Chain A
Amino acid sequence: MSSPVVVVDGLRVVRGGTAVLDGLDVTVEAGVTGLLGPSGCGKSTLLRSVVGVQRVAGGTVTVLGSPAGSPSLRTRVGYLTQSSSVYDDLSVTENLRFFARVLGRPVRVVDETVELVDLGRHRDQVVGRLSGGQRSRVGLAAALLGDPELLVLDEPTVGLDPVLRRDLWAVFHRLAADGKVLLISSHVMDEAERCDRLLLMRDGAIIAHDSPAEVKRATGTDSVEDAFLALVVPREGRGATSSTSEDQR
């Protein structure tokens, strides 16, 4: 495996007086990495730390060799927030033209990106009138415009119908095949199977970090959901016994 793209070292984030992340260590390598865990476990906080918009109380986050949030990273990292963050009162192309201009990219990349996320038929529609899935694809397109090396996507498939979800994952793997690194969060465990590597997260801690097959093998389970339970239950039931997680620190 090549050197990690993201290195999180001793990350500590305090929100509203409580530590959401307390000394988190994790790395993200090439390919598609799924960050999975229940709502509120700290996924978004970790992703926000990686893109450099999270106030951090301690530790370091290094992305592509530079501290997270460095000006040099702003064209190299694409970020999709949980709420998509596109302008509802503008059309698809108007939104993307705006982001392209901010990124200093030629207007023609807008057309290419619209096709990539399969929104060609809706290009002139106002985003506010699109469905939730179409809207999140506009957000994804905006994150892709800058041709970033790392894509950080916060729950890009939430609320989508299965067909759309499958299509989006196909897009993600196509991007990975083009050499992009993707870090994708989800609280839907069945999406885990589609990832090259998994980061299972709970209560601000990474409880497993490996390929889906390896996570299942190590826990002796058939699905990632069961693996997650197997990892969590001994902790709660019998206290901190030896963890089955492969490279937990």
Chain B
Amino acid sequence: MTPRITLAITARVLRQLTRDRRTLAILLVLPCALQALLWWIFKDDPLVFDRVGPALLAIFPFFVMFLVTSVTTLRERSGGMLERLFTLPMGKLDFLLGYALAFGLVAMVQAVLAVSVAVGLLGMDVGGPVVMLGVVGVADAVLGTALGLFVSAFARTEFQAVQFLPAVVVPQILVCGLLTPRDAMPGVLHAVSDVMPLTYAVEAMDRLASGEALGRVWADLAVVVAFGLAALALGAATLRRRTE
């Protein structure tokens, strides 16, 4: 790994993002807009927004980051782009970390915006430190990025890449505790939700909102980060200099 090359990739990905206004809007504005929509739906029953809002602070960034990263990296894998990059002095880690860093920076902006809107504008009730919502949000978005990088190895077209959304992301949303507390779910599903990374991001947001001890939040955060690193490692294993 060479920092110069990693940062070159980060800078290039960010520059490409600034060229693509619509994608940038999806990354930055959409999570806030969906948050506002939810608030509006439950305008007459603000307790619902307070209960569901924190979970959505984890779900939306995860969702959009997964989508954008899987398609972007697939584009790079096809068209000979990755092949050419691998004839240059670029390491696999340069590529993966370059991407993770770029989307991590976007995630930071996204988290600041989403938390500001949810807490500042829509009056979400948060018991714990608000800053931690942002920290969890960034970790959670980077997790989405890492998973997106990984699954892009198993798609041949952008169409196939998009199909991973209902296959990989939606099940996690269903069992993460958003629809019903995880304790109320059948045992098998509870066990399934235990091994889903999004569960821990949602749990961390919920704990922060209800003002639980920070120790539990850090533990959840550690699980999210561990899943993210594992996905990056798996992603590295799917990158091959030599292909058939």
Q: Given A85-B80, A90-B15, does the pair A102, B241 have CB atoms closer than 8 Å?
A: no
Residue of B nearest to A71 (CB): B89
| Interface size bracket, A side | 20 to 34
A184 CB–B CB distance under 8 Å: no
Of the candidates B5, B15, B20, B79, which one forms a contact with A94 in the assembled complex, judged by CB atoms under 8 Å apart?
A: B15
Q: Given A82-B80, A94-B15, does the pair A102, B242 have CB atoms closer than 8 Å?
A: no
B243 CB–A CB distance under 8 Å: yes
A228 CB–B CB distance under 8 Å: no
Residue of B nearest to A20 (CB): B244
B12 CB–A CB distance under 8 Å: yes
Contact status B16-A87, CB under 8 Å: yes
A177 CB–B CB distance under 8 Å: no
- Number of contacting residues on B, CB 8 A? 26
Contact status A87-B12, CB under 8 Å: yes
B43 CB–A CB distance under 8 Å: no
Query: In the assembled complex, which residues on chain B have CB atoms less than 8 Å from the CB atom of A142?
Result: 84
Q: Given A53-B242, A90-B12, A102-B8, does the pair A79, B89 have CB atoms closer than 8 Å?
A: no
A82 vs B58: C-alpha distance when bound (angstroms): 42
Residue of B nearest to A84 (CB): B80
A77 CB–B CB distance under 8 Å: yes
Interface string of B72-108 (1 = CB under 8 A from A): 0000000111011111111000000000000000000
Query: In the assembled complex, which residues on chain B have CB atoms less than 8 Å from the CB atom of A53?
Result: 83, 86-87, 241-243
Residue from B79, B80, B89, B244 with most neighbouring chain A CB atoms (10 Å): B80
Give the Cβ gap from A183 to chain B, nearest Cβ, in Å.
Answer: 13
Interface residues of A in 197-225 (CB under 8 A from B): none
Q: Given A53-B241, A69-B241, does the pair A102, B85 have CB atoms closer than 8 Å?
A: yes
Query: In the assembled complex, which residues on chain B have CB atoms less than 8 Å from the CB atom of A77?
Result: 87
- Pick 26 A–B contacts, CB within 8 A, sort by A: A53-B86, A53-B243, A54-B243, A71-B89, A74-B87, A74-B88, A74-B89, A79-B84, A84-B80, A85-B80, A87-B81, A89-B19, A89-B20, A90-B12, A90-B16, A90-B19, A94-B15, A98-B12, A101-B8, A101-B11, A102-B5, A103-B89, A104-B4, A104-B89, A142-B84, A146-B88
Residues of A within 8 A of B (CB): 14-16, 48, 51-56, 69, 71, 74-75, 77, 79, 81-85, 87, 89-90, 94, 98-99, 101-104, 126, 142, 146
Known: A52-B241, A55-B243. 20 other contacts (CB 8 A): A48-B83, A52-B87, A53-B86, A53-B241, A54-B243, A55-B240, A69-B242, A71-B89, A79-B87, A83-B79, A89-B20, A94-B12, A101-B4, A101-B11, A102-B5, A102-B85, A102-B88, A103-B88, A103-B89, A146-B88
